[in-house]
Structure 1
């Protein structure tokens, strides 16, 4: 159908825009890197919940997966599949929001970047929910759809919290009298709660748990080995990362041990 072909082209175009945005955000084309953009508000030492620089290597894996997904979904065999139809435009929207976020940060519009990344998180949650509601059943689905979307969602969840903290700090938020360490602990606790809730909801899918735990672990590293140290926040971040993985594994085991509907009949 023509509508399917339009959707496939839209995803390809959005993926290309996201890759261009990533190159711009890296500073390879002469622009300011994300870590130095917006006055360094998103650098590893800007807030107590900012991940260390190496954490962002996960984007290489995510972008590679997104490019492969875009190519795969454009195959004739994928055009009319229900999964592609219900999630394709949502994935395209996430790719465009990704590129938009980079451009907004490059422009120094930190408050707007919070709005954009929050919208990106909502879009990814909807995408993931649609994929969960329609299991794929193939290796390509597991890797290029569920796996890539899961990694994307798990990382953006951590990035959203870090972005909000950066925006509040840059705006001069005084923390209502709480210390920065107390706020750091509270934020890490929120991320842990969200990560565990996601693991329970999605039946213990490992991709989102792994990427959110990765982000938390690098928050811990930054607080031990950066210019803005905090032993309590570091310990909490490492513990939260471990907890999310443990909950995901437990949820996965529990989900797989449940008898199927066919077995119960």
Structure 2
């Protein structure tokens, strides 16, 4: 076999090497002696033959020690190593050979043993791993089971805690709701009590305020009445300072009688009138004068002109005092004016002949031998003067409707003029009846004189109580002014007709002269009246219509007079010019005052 031959060859080579290294001494060895032993014998012989001078040798054990020998003799490392090598025995070459021979099988057996050991170890490890995996799986399953149990227990505890928390929260919420409800009920009760107390206090204050206002209104009416009585006694007018610009004559609690209050009014009225004039002028300056801002001039420049004087209106400023509460007398006045207006319209329709021919005749100017025709006297009017009556019906109808507005129910100017206008309307109807029937002819002059006085006094009251806005000025002042202007010139016509019907020749002066004098007086008086307040153009228009109706018959009629026509034309021109001049001057003065310019005094 290859393995055995290789081992034998190796053994032979080792033996040959050993014999070669041992030299001739080895050849004398007996047969069957081991090489290591021969080597040891040769080495011992060589060591015995070496001289002692090279190195001291350790004495043999059976040799006697010298007396003076050193038992502690030292050796070097090399000698110690050699001694160790010498102490080693010779190997058993048979065993070595046997071992070398058996080494393949030994190695194979060792390999098999090692392989079996590894297989066993691998199986053991696999079993241990499988066992560990089984244990781990069991532990995981147990852990999962325990975790599931813990989760279920935790979930049950959490659910129990949640239910308990919800129960506690519900109980707490219920307690909170009850507490809030009780608190809200308490607060609501407190609020209701506070509201009730506030309402009672407000009601008490309101009752006190109303009581004070009622007392103040009654007291102001009493004081206004007392002051108006004192004013009539003083100068025959009703003008008194407004309540907001005068002190109270009587304090609450004094309980003065009417006589005592009137005595105080007589004593206080002159001073209050003087103060009210000053206040009106100051208010006019403040309200109507707007000063323009001027740039500053240098110190070396010219001295600036003095500031323009303030504009003071030449009429009473409108009262800003609130109207008193309407009374039953105010309602009666408005009803009276309305009824008087209806009677005025019906009487005019009847008197002018619009209802047709009756026992007295057709039209008014054809009755009584032409008594009211244009050629009867020097101041008789043309027949078409009657066209003014429909205009007056419309104008006074607007006035009647306007006085029913809430703002006019208790206005001072309505109270001052309402009864006078109603009486004038009824007086006009009386004149129509007298003129139509012919009964008591001549009395119509007295009617027109009374009617003219009532309307002139109404205009005077309007001057005392100036219009507060344009509507009042246009309707109340305008309509009454138109009626007044017409009434004045028609009263002069009735006076001329009455004198002509009687055939009276006063002082043997011709009738045309008396007519001229009458026109001069009427035009002068009417012009003075039309220039009151801001200029009452409606009065001038009413007068102008009558002057025109007188002018035409004096030029082309049977009763002609150039002088009467000239005076009528001049009067027409003068009254319109004077009125428009008044209106222009006031508007111009207000415009200049608004621009900050100097305004001339009226």
Q: TM-score scaled by structure 1?
A: 0.91
| Greater relative contact order (CA < 8 Å, ≥ 6 in sequence) | 1
Per mean C-alpha deviation after superposition, the further-off stretch among 120-129 and 27-36 is: 27-36
- 1:102, CA displacement in angstroms? 0.8
Kindly indicate whether the alpha-carbon contact (under 8 Å) linking 2:496 and 2:515 is maintained by their aligned counterparts in 1: no
Q: Which residue of 2 aligns with 1:163?
A: 494
Task: Quote the Cα distance in structure 1 between the aligned partners of 2:348 and 2:367.
Answer: 14
SS state at 1:127 partner: helix
Kindly indicate whether the alpha-carbon contact (under 8 Å) linking 2:505 and 2:511 is maintained by their aligned counterparts in 1: no
Q: Which residue of 1 aligns with 2:333?
A: 7
- 1:258, CA displacement in angstroms? 5.1
- 1:85, CA displacement in angstroms? 1.6
- 1:202, CA displacement in angstroms? 4.6
Structure 2 residue corresponding to 1:131, chosen from 462, 487, 511: 462
- 1:201, CA displacement in angstroms? 3.8
Per mean C-alpha deviation after superposition, the further-off stretch among 1-10 and 156-165 is: 1-10
Q: Give the number of equivalent residue pairs.
A: 264
Task: Quote the Cα distance in structure 1 between the aligned partners of 2:338 and 2:345.
Answer: 11
Q: Which residue of 2 aligns with 1:43?
A: 373
Task: Quote the Cα distance in structure 2 between the aligned partners of 1:148 and 1:120.
Answer: 15
Structure 2 residue 356 is the aligned partner of structure 1 residue 26: no
Q: Which residue of 2 aligns with 1:243?
A: 574
Structure 1 residue corresponding to 2:342, chosen from 16, 19, 27: 16
SS state at 1:102 partner: helix
Task: Quote the Cα distance in structure 2 between the aligned partners of 1:68 and 1:85.
Answer: 17
SS state at 1:35 partner: helix
Task: Quote the Cα distance in structure 1 between the aligned partners of 2:483 and 2:430.
Answer: 16
Task: Quote the Cα distance in structure 2 between the aligned partners of 1:117 and 1:142.
Answer: 25
Task: Quote the Cα distance in structure 1 between the aligned partners of 2:476 and 2:352.
Answer: 25
Task: Quote the Cα distance in structure 1 between the aligned partners of 2:422 and 2:540.
Answer: 23
RMSD: 2.3
- 1:125, CA displacement in angstroms? 0.8
Structure 2 residue 431 is the aligned partner of structure 1 residue 78: no
Q: Which residue of 2 aligns with 1:232?
A: 563
Structure 2 residue 383 is the aligned partner of structure 1 residue 53: yes
Structure 2 residue 448 is the aligned partner of structure 1 residue 117: yes
Kindly indicate whether the alpha-carbon contact (under 8 Å) linking 1:49 and 1:187 is maintained by their aligned counterparts in 2: no
Structure 2 residue 146 is the aligned partner of structure 1 residue 146: no
Unaligned runs of 5+ in 1: none
- 1:205, CA displacement in angstroms? 1.2
Output one character per residue of 1:217-257: Cα deviation in whole Å (capped at 9) or x when no partner: 22111111222222221122111100111111122233445
Q: TM-score scaled by structure 2?
A: 0.42
- 1:2, CA displacement in angstroms? 2.0
SS state at 1:110 partner: coil
Output one character per residue of 1:163-194: Cα deviation in whole Å (capped at 9) or x when no partner: 00100111111232222322232222222222
Q: Cα 1:203–1:140, aligned 2, differ >3 Å: closer, same or farther?
A: closer
Structure 2 residue 431 is the aligned partner of structure 1 residue 101: yes
Output one character per residue of 1:50-94: Cα deviation in whole Å (capped at 9) or x when no partner: 121222312221111111211221234421222222211111111
Greater radius of gyration (CA): 2
SS state at 1:136 partner: coil
Unaligned runs of 5+ in 2: 1-326, 591-595
Task: Quote the Cα distance in structure 1 between the aligned partners of 2:444 and 2:534.
Answer: 31
